[in-house]
Chain A
Amino acid sequence: MAKKAKRERLDIYKTFKLYIGGRFPRTESGRYLTETTHKGAFVANICRASRKDFRDAVVAARKAQSGWAGRTPFNRSQIFYRMGEMLESRRDGFERALQERAGYSEKKAVAEVDAAIDRLVWYGGWADKFIQVFGNTNPVASPHFNFTMPEPTGVVASLAPRSAPLLGLVTSMAPLIVSGNAVVCFVDHDHRSIAIDFAEVLHCSDLPGGVVNILTGHRDEVLGHVSGHRDVDGIAVFDAEGDERRSIGLEAADTVKRVHFYDTPDKADWSDSAAQSPYWILPFVEFKTAWHPM
């Protein structure tokens, strides 16, 4: 990692691996990407995830999903809060990483970490509230009790934002998992290592393994595979334009996947409150309506 001047001791480099099923495996492909700081200094040889890694991550996500959805919303809420706690206690490392690797100013780095922590806490609070806000009883014109409530869609592939290495990832992931989805996040930008740093936060937050899986690599080379995977229920996409959107939509149609293209806030706006909304939860929930005579 970036060296501090005049250190007597040789520091050790960190090996950044993938995060799949609550473990940190290397990519099965053995391929790597060399990540450098914004100034070009060596950061790490990080994993260049393959289609097989994606498939493995989907298996892990599927395995974890029903258990996660089965947790009480109160419990999910607490786990979100725990993520916030873990990030808060590691904030120095993230601030340093954002500055050294991504070239943030200190002020900007502090702001991004602040916003990421606050966003986790904010979404955590929604876990046991969005159902009340978006669910309801329905006054049907017959002697039936009838109610509607949102349930998670299932396994969602997330094509994570290409900016804001920490806050972008948190912003894209939180509204997906708060409802009980499991996600496979695919991270493709110049500072992917920060996503893997964040995986360590998730890993010690009581979040069950497999609920969030993080892969680093080139989006282009797995895109068709992600959109066409038959055991993926939805695709949450940031930073895709015309042709990419079309190709995702075409593949997704084979299994009637839910596809949602989120608007990327301007870089400066990631921490704005407009980048967090309970309405970001809605694209990946299913409304279930139940009837019973009374």
Chain B
Amino acid sequence: MGKQSTKSVKDLLFGDLWEYAPAPQGTDFVELDERYGHYIGGEFVGLDSEETFDTINPATEEKLATISVADEATVDRAVKAARKAYDNHWSKISGAERAKYLYRIARMIQEKARNLAVVETMDGGKPIKESRDVDIPLAAAHFFYYAGWADKLDYAFPGATIKPLGVAGQVIPWNFPLLMAAWKIAPALAAGNTVVIKPAETTPLTAMLLAQIIDEAGLPPGVVNIVNGAGATGAAIVNHDDIDKVAFTGSTQVGKIIQRAVAGTGKKLTLELGGKGANIVFDDAPIDQAVEGIINGIFFNQGHVCCAGSRLLVQENIADEVIAKLKQRMSTLIVGDPLDKNTDVGAINSREQLDRITELVGSGVDEGAQKFQPKCALPDTGYFFAPTIFTDVTPSHRIAQEEIFGPVLSVLTFRTPDEAVKKANNTPYGLACGIWSDKGSKLFRVAGALKAGVIWGNTYNKFDPTSPFGGYKESGFGREGGVQGLLAYLEVR
């Protein structure tokens, strides 16, 4: 499919003709400690722990810092600090006071925005233009938005009696480290809870910078506690008896483990899990805009996005044209140094993730799908993966079913809107979908039939603090963002 049709599209291959001059983001103003521990009860602790791990820059494989691992005793200390802060302080002050603390945090994130963006990119591998223009501004906006709710909760749920839950235990992923911390902490605090949060082990640094901000903002000790570590630390939080609520963002596999772990405990649970989003392109869509949307849908943040549009469903009669344009557009993507301001696709977050992407792409080839990667020189060091699309994909292929969480797009075709809906819904996931069509009635009808928590019509990968985000089916339950995001942190009767 699409093999000979490239002829109808004019080639304009920047990568071959021109070189972009390097536009590196400076890092000289970034000051990182060699060692980070935890932030518990308003103190930076745990610098002496024996168990540690290194966090590295995935683009260079250079070590950035050594991080302490929080064991059960450390987590217990954090939970106790959170409980004490909840009982003695946070649950007693007025919503207006809570709001002002959150506003302070939002402002300080804005003040330190460039620093945070650079560290986010160094630690996680995402292009600086994304951390600078998306992650950090949205994190600040999230705190700002929920700050305003803290003293207006009585207006959020008409007729209901509400109260905070207590201590929230939160575990977040590595794909949007600071933004996910904001998504978790801001609504929890606004609703009157205190938190113990664990950043992902490959991206702990911006969380530790956030701890400094929280400290400078003068938040009462123990309202926010940040502990570092991997799965065992997360499990210690989830299983702690004195946690009232668990919020997790990550894989569906781990989400199920957590759902089992809290079964029968009475802990309130929200899960934001994996996805296999369908990006549906109808033949009446504005094709060039759709191609941009497809590119953004799958290559944004190297495809490390739970709501990525990782399955392209394109109407059969325009498939050749769309695929040809897509391939051409892919060849203009700049893959490489995440700190370069021109970079479109940065580094894969970790060796482990690179191996997983490589394995799944291998399965796509083995199962008979056609792989395409544009010519692009990948850096010699670091973890990189070329933007990839697969055509001739059938719904049963692993690359059509499993979440790859990388820059890999599977292309399927359909003939009728009903078939598109059926194929889009044919997955255990239900997080996000895109629809491209110029026909409003068709777009609305398909949007209604899709089983997904977020529907992007003629756009993709848009986020906003006021806009609830979360999944149907095995993509989890609960929402983050918007007034609905408060439900995760309140008892509502």
Contacts and interface: CB of A to CB of B under 8 A. Distances in A.
A12 interface: no
B264 A138 contact: no
Chain A interface category by residue count = 35 or more
Contacts of A233: 473
A249 B159 contact: no
Is chain A's binding surface mostly helix, strand, loop or mixed?
mixed
B466 A256 contact: no
A249 B258 CA distance: 11
B256 A279 contact: no
B464 interface: yes
A291 B456 CA distance: 5
Interface stretch (B100-108, B213-221, B482-490): B482-490
A51 to B, nearest CB: 21
Interface in A239-260: 242-243, 245-250, 252-256, 258
Interface residues of B, number: 49
Contact of A142 (B462, B469, B479): B462
Interface stretch (A188-196, A199-207, A281-289): A281-289
A15 interface: no
B468 A256 contact: no
Nearest to A274: B493
Given A256-B271, A289-B455, A291-B459, A249 B260 contact: yes
A272 B241 CA distance: 34
Interface in B437-493: 443, 447, 452-459, 462, 464, 466-470, 472-477, 479, 482-484, 487, 492-493
Interface in B249-265: 252, 255-257, 259-260, 262-265
A282 B157 CA distance: 12
Contacts of B455: 288-291
B273 interface: yes
A233 B472 CA distance: 10
Contact of A148 (B255, B467, B473, B477): B467
A233 B484 CA distance: 20
Contacts of B256: 253-254, 256
A246 B263 contact: yes
A67 interface: no
B195 to A, nearest CB: 23
Contacts of A133: 158
Given A243-B264, A253-B256, A278-B159, A136 B483 contact: yes
B468 A245 contact: no
A101 to B, nearest CB: 33
B471 to A, nearest CB: 8
B94 to A, nearest CB: 25
A249 B468 contact: no
Contact of A253 (B263, B458, B482): B263
Interface string B152-169: 000001111000000000
Contacts of B271: 256
Interface string B405-425: 000000000000000000000
A288 B470 CA distance: 8
Interface string A124-146: 00000000011010111110101
A40 interface: no
B428 interface: yes
A289 B493 contact: no
A245 B263 contact: yes
A286 B467 contact: no
Contacts of B487: 282
B189 interface: no
B38 to A, nearest CB: 29
B141 interface: yes
A148 B459 contact: no
Contact of A144 (B264, B459, B470): B459
A293 interface: yes
A146 B472 CA distance: 18
B255 A256 contact: yes
Given A253-B256, A287-B484, A290-B447, A279 B160 contact: yes
Interface string A260-294: 00000000000000000111001000111111110
B262 A287 contact: no
Interface string B134-172: 000000010000000000000001111000000000000
B291 to A, nearest CB: 16
Contacts of A287: 453, 468, 470, 479, 484
Given A148-B484, A247-B264, A142 B252 contact: no
Contact of B473 (A139, A253, A256, A290): A256
B482 A148 contact: yes
Given A254-B256, A290-B455, A245 B477 contact: no
Nearest to A134: B484
Contact of A140 (B262, B428, B466, B484): B466
17 contacts: A138-B467, A140-B464, A146-B467, A148-B482, A245-B266, A249-B260, A249-B263, A250-B264, A253-B256, A253-B257, A277-B159, A279-B493, A287-B484, A289-B453, A289-B468, A291-B462, A293-B458
The 5 closest A-B pairs by CB, nearest first: A249-B263, A246-B264, A253-B259, A140-B464, A292-B457
Interface of B: 141, 157-160, 252, 255-257, 259-260, 262-266, 271, 273, 428, 443, 447, 452-459, 462, 464, 466-470, 472-477, 479, 482-484, 487, 492-493
Given A247-B264, A292-B443, 4 more contacts: A134-B484, A289-B453, A290-B455, A291-B462
Interface of A: 133-134, 136, 138-142, 144, 146, 148, 233, 242-243, 245-250, 252-256, 258, 277-279, 282, 286-293
